[in-house]
C-alpha cells in the first residue's frame, strides 16, 4: 500500500447490527480525521445466538465487500461474537490488512475492581467461545467473574425496544446477584457485547452509580491507532491543515431505517444508510 495514498482510504467497521456504533463513536473520538465505512449486518442478526459457521460466513462476506468495494486500510470487527468466532480466520485470509477485534474488558475490570468480584454480561456465543475461555483462564486468581448470558438483550436494543430492554436488564442483573462496594459484591460490570453500551443508563440505574461499567470501544480505538502507526507509517490522517472530518458511510443488510434512527440517536448524525445485499 502507498502510504501517501493511505490518508484517503477508509477504515472498515462492522457488527451484526447497531451495537458497533458504540465502537465507531470511540474510533471517531480517537481518530477524528479518518474516513469510516460501517456495515450493520442486521439482516442476519443477532450473531450472539447463531452458530460459528454462520458468523464466519457473514464476517468473511463483509470483509470481502469492504476490501473490494472500498479499499479499506484497516478492518475493525466491532462485535464480540464475530471477534471470537472469526478473527483468526480473517487475519489468515487478509495477512496484509490490519484487523482489530474486540473482547470483553475483563483485564481492565480486574485491575480496577476493589472487591475482586466482577459481573460479565455477554451473548451466549461470546461466553461459549474458545477465545473467551482462554481470556478467562489467563485471569485465573485475579478476580471472581460472575458470567451472565443475556439472551434477547442485543436484539431488544437493536430494535430500540425500551420496555423489553429494561425488563431484560432487570432480569439479568437480578439473576447475577448483589452489586456494590461491599465485600463479595460486584463493583464492576463488564459489557461483553457492543450493543449493551446503549443500555448503560438502564444498567446504571439498576446496579448503582458506584459500579463501574466497562466497555470495549476505547481500547479498540487506541489499538487501531497503534496498529496503523506501526504497520503502515504515514497511513493515519493526522494533519488538520490538509484533512477535514468526513461523515461515515453506513450500509445495512437489513432495515435501513433502523440503522439511520440509531445513528441519529446515538451518534447525533443525520447520515443516509444505503442498502447492501451480500451472498
pLDDT of residue 80: 92
pLDDT per residue over 73-106, tens digit each?
Answer: 999 999 999 999 999 999 999 999 999 999 999 9
Q: Which domain holds residue 134?
A: 106-214
Q: Are residues 207 and 114 in the same domain?
A: yes
Q: Are residues 115 and 202 in the same domain?
A: yes
Single residue among 184, 214, 244 that ends a domain in this structure: 214
pLDDT of residue 50: 81
Q: Are residues 185 and 98 in the same domain?
A: no
Task: Please tell me the total count of domains within the chain.
Answer: 2
Residues 13 and 4: their CA atoms lie apart, in Å, by: 22
pLDDT of residue 241: 56
pLDDT of residue 2: 36
Give ∠ CA 34-39-44 in degrees, rounded to 5: 165
pLDDT of residue 277: 94
pLDDT of residue 237: 77
Residues 52 and 221: their CA atoms lie apart, in Å, by: 25
Q: Are residues 204 and 115 in the same domain?
A: yes
Under DSSP, the state recorded for 248 is P
Single residue among 189, 214, 239 that ends a domain in this structure: 214
Rounded-to-10 torsion of CA 168, 201, 19, 267 = 150
Q: Are residues 178 and 41 in the same domain?
A: no
Q: Are residues 207 and 110 in the same domain?
A: yes
Q: Are residues 194 and 265 in the same domain?
A: no
pTM of the model: 0.88
Catalytic positions are 79, 193
pLDDT of residue 1: 38
Q: Are residues 119 and 181 in the same domain?
A: yes
Q: Are residues 87 and 57 in the same domain?
A: yes
User: For the domain that residue 175 is a member of, what is the CATH number?
Assistant: 3.40.50.1860
Give pLDDT < 50 ranges for the chain.
Answer: 1-7
pLDDT of residue 6: 41
Single residue among 175, 192, 214 that ends a domain in this structure: 214
Amino acid at each position: 500500500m502507498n502510504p501517501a495514498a493511505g490518508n484517503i482510504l477508509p477504515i472498515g467497521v462492522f457488527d451484526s447490527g447497531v451495537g458497533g456504533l458504540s465502537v465507531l463513536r470511540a474510533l471517531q473520538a480517537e481518530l477524528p480525521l479518518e474516513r469510516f465505512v460501517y456495515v450493520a449486518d442486521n439482516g442476519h442478526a443477532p450473531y450472539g445466538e447463531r452458530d460459528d459457521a454462520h458468523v464466519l460466513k457473514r464476517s468473511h462476506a463483509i470483509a470481502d465487500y469492504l476490501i473490494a468495494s472500498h479499499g479499506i486500510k484497516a478492518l475493525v470487527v466491532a462485535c464480540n461474537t464475530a471477534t471470537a468466532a472469526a478473527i483468526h480466520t480473517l487475519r489468515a485470509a487478509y495477512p496484509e490488512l490490519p484487523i482489530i477485534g474486540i473482547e470483553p474488558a475483563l483485564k481492565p475490570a480486574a485491575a480496577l475492581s476493589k472487591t475482586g468480584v466482577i459481573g460479565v454480561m455477554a451473548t451466549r456465543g461470546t461466553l461459549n467461545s474458545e477465545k473467551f475461555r482462554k481470556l478467562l483462564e489467563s485471569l485465573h486468581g485475579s478476580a471472581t467473574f460472575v458470567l451472565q448470558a443475556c439472551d434477547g438483550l442485543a436484539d431488544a436494543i437493536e430494535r430500540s425496544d425500551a420496555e423489553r430492554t429494561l425488563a431484560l436488564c432487570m432480569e439479568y442483573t437480578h439473576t447475577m446477584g448483589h452489586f456494590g462496594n461491599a465485600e463479595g459484591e460486584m463493583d464492576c460490570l463488564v459489557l461483553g457485547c457492543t450493543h449493551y453500551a446503549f443500555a448503560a443508563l438502564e444498567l446504571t440505574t439498576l446496579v448503582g452509580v458506584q459500579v463501574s461499567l466497562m466497555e470495549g470501544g476505547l481500547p479498540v480505538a487506541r489499538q487501531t491507532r497503534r496498529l496503523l502507526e506501526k504497520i503502515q507509517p504515514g497511513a493515519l490522517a493526522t494533519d488538520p491543515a490538509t484533512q477535514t472530518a468526513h461523515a461515515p458511510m453506513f450500509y445495512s443488510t437489513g432495515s435501513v431505517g433502523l440503522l439511520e434512527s440509531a445513528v441519529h440517536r446515538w451518534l447525533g448524525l443525520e447520515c443516509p444508510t444505503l442498502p447492501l445485499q451480500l451472498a
